[in-house]
């Protein structure tokens, strides 16, 4: 080996060593930044994230921090606290997404509400003081494919969080969510926040799309699901919204709620604090869009006004009749109802629009809960399916 070749090899080795040292320094700086973002989460959002173990990985080109298992805790304006447990969280900072921090949630999540114990009553002289544990009420569980999140690199007053998962299942443990577990495929969407929002703008907005979804107990698949909701400003409304939502989802199922007189047509004493821009889906060629202006009181039970728009309604009735899901008498009745509504609207060839007031947390049609109507329709369809089954001939 000549002297020149030796010097070239030495220079190359020195350059490679310097490059690796630089990459190691950048990698460690990225890991340190991720640890700082996790530690600063509580001061910026009011939510803390605690894990038993932390692992740094991704060297040399990406900085990754793996946390497992993880506990999330968010304080509400009330005395309650929202808590969540996650199997593992992977946080990544890489050159191929330089403007964002990617987060991957694995192992499913469990979310609940912690209610502090009541104020201790005065103790007698012969009583011992014993600690009272707070009550933890599990609200929902999510499992399925990992949930991928994309946060902006730097925290700002206005920002956007993107999320995506291939498959998910959300099951409620209390309230209305218990009656309607949701399974969805191809879920993607984003969350937008604005801490400086005025009453004329949105402080928080969520947009979500799913390729397919099933909402129990209805067995049929919904396609092209599209949801968009917003919480009007100012920013303090968002904190009150989370407090009210925690009380709403924890209400008992509708079958356990005592019947109350309908308040259809009565004035609402609240300003709306939740705008459902649209909840759209397609089913058997029918496109349904639901919009609403709702109030979520702190004691639970949404109230407001909503509207349901149905497109291709008559094609759906014909399809259900051809498949013998509806009898000819039922189809004729629905067609007469459609004619009556269309005549009142003055749009015989347009979509069908139906007002659906929301009272006491229940969407109502003519003073009757839509949940009850869906349940009766589901039972009727099951009974008709049983009648279609061929009866076994006697031996």
Look at 190 and 116; give whichever has higher pLDDT: 190
* CA-closest candidate to residue 49, choices 68, 32, 71, 33: 71
Q: Which position has the token pair 């114990």?
A: 117
If pLDDT is split at 50, 70 and 90, which confidence band does 385 have? Answer: low
If pLDDT is split at 50, 70 and 90, which confidence band does 101 have? Answer: very high
pLDDT tens for 111-165 read 988 877 653 344 444 444 444 456 778 889 999 999 999 999 887 888 899 999 9
Q: What is the mean pLDDT of residues 162-183?
A: 89
Q: What is the mean pLDDT of residues 326-344?
A: 72
Other Cβ atoms less than 10 A from the Cβ of 189: the count is 17
If pLDDT is split at 50, 70 and 90, which confidence band does 295 have? Answer: confident
pLDDT surpasses 50 at 257: no
CA distance 275 to 278: 9
Q: What is the mean pLDDT of residues 296-312?
A: 78
Tokens of 245: 């939502």
- To 5 degrees, how large is the angle CA 195–CA 201–CA 203? 30
CA distance 71 to 42: 13
If pLDDT is split at 50, 70 and 90, which confidence band does 184 have? Answer: very high
Q: What is the mean pLDDT of residues 188-200?
A: 90
Per residue, what are the HEC states of the chain? Answer: CCHHHHHHHHHHHHHHHHHHHHHHHHHHHHHHHHHHHHHCHHHHHCEEEEEEEEEEECCCCCEEEEEEEEEEEEECCCCCEEEEEEEEEEEEECCCCCCEEEEEEEEEEEEEEEECCCCCCCCCCCCCCCCCCCEEEEEEEEEECCEEEEEECCCCCEEEEEEEEEEEEEEECCCHHHHCCEEEEEEEEEEEEECCCCCCCEEEEEEEEEEEEEECCCCCCEEEEEEEEEEECCCHHHHHHHHHHHHHHCCCCHHHCCCCCCCCCCCCCCCCCEEEEEEEEEECCEEEEEEEEEECCCCCCCEEEEEEEEECHHHHHHHHHHCCCCCHHHHHHHHHHHHHHHHHHCCCCCCEEEECCEECCEEEECCEEHHHHHHHHHHHHHHHHHHHCCCCCCC
pLDDT surpasses 80 at 48: yes
Picking from 219-228, 293-302, 380-389, which range would have the lowest pLDDT averaged per residue? 380-389
Q: Which residues contact 137 (CB under 8 A, 6 or more apart)?
A: 112, 113, 114, 115, 174, 250
Looking only at the bridges linking them, the beta strands covering 158-172 and 182-194 are: antiparallel
If pLDDT is split at 50, 70 and 90, which confidence band does 248 have? Answer: low
If pLDDT is split at 50, 70 and 90, which confidence band does 389 have? Answer: low
Residue 112's pLDDT is 86
Look at 268 and 366; give whichever has higher pLDDT: 366
- For helices 328-345 and 313-322, the axis angle rounded to 10 degrees is 180
* Cis omega (within 30 of 0) for bond into 105: no
Q: What is the CA radius of gyration of the chain?
A: 28
* CA-closest candidate to residue 199, choices 227, 166, 236, 162: 236
pLDDT surpasses 80 at 183: yes
- Out of 2-16, 33-47, 112-126, the most confident range is 33-47
CA distance 387 to 216: 23
Residue 161's pLDDT is 94
Tokens of 177: 């969510």
Q: What is the largest CA-CA distance in the chain?
A: 101
Look at 185 and 322; give whichever has higher pLDDT: 185
Would you say the pTM of this structure is higher than 0.85?
A: no
């Amino acid at each position: 080996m000549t002297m020149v070749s030796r010097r070239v090899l030495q220079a190359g080795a020195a350059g490679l060593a310097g490059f690796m040292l630089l990459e190691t320094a950048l990698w460690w700086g990225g890991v340190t930044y991720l640890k700082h973002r996790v530690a600063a989460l509580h001061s910026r959002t009011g939510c803390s994230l605690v894990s038993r173990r932390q692992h740094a990985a991704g060297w040399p080109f990406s900085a990754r921090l793996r946390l497992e298992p993880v506990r999330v805790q968010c304080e509400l304006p009330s005395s309650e606290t929202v808590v969540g447990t996650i199997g593992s969280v992977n946080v990544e900072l890489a050159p191929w997404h330089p403007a964002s921090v990617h987060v991957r949630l694995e192992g499913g999540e469990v979310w609940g509400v912690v209610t502090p114990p009541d104020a201790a009553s005065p103790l007698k002289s012969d009583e011992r003081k014993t600690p009272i544990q707070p009550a933890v009420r599990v609200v929902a569980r999510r499992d399925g494919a990992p949930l991928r999140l994309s946060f902006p690199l730097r925290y700002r007053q206005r920002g956007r969080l993107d999320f995506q998962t291939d498959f998910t299942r959300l099951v409620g443990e209390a309230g209305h969510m218990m009656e309607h577990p949701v399974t969805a495929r191809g879920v993607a969407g984003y969350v937008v926040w604005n801490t400086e929002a005025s009453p004329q703008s949105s402080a928080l907005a969520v947009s979500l799309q799913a390729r397919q979804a099933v909402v129990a107990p209805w067995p049929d698949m919904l396609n092209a699901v599209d949801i968009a909701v917003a919480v009007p400003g100012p920013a303090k409304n968002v904190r009150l919204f989370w407090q009210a939502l925690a009380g709403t989802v924890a209400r008992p199922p509708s079958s356990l709620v005592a019947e109350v007189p309908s308040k259809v047509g009565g004035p609402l004493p609240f300003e709306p604090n939740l705008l459902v821009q649209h909840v759209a889906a397609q089913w058997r060629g029918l496109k349904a869009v639901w919009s609403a202006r709702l109030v979520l009181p702190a004691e639970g039970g949404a109230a407001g006004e909503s509207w349901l728009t149905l497109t291709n309604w008559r094609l759906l009735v014909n399809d259900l009749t051809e498949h013998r899901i509806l009898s000819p008498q039922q189809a004729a009745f629905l067609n007469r109802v459609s004619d009556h509504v269309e005549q009142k609207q003055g749009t015989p060839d347009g979509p069908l629009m139906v007002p659906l007031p929301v009272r006491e947390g229940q969407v109502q049609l003519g003073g009757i809960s839509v949940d009850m109507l869906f349940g009766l329709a589901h039972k009727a369809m099951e009974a008709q399916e049983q009648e279609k089954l061929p009866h076994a001939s006697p031996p």
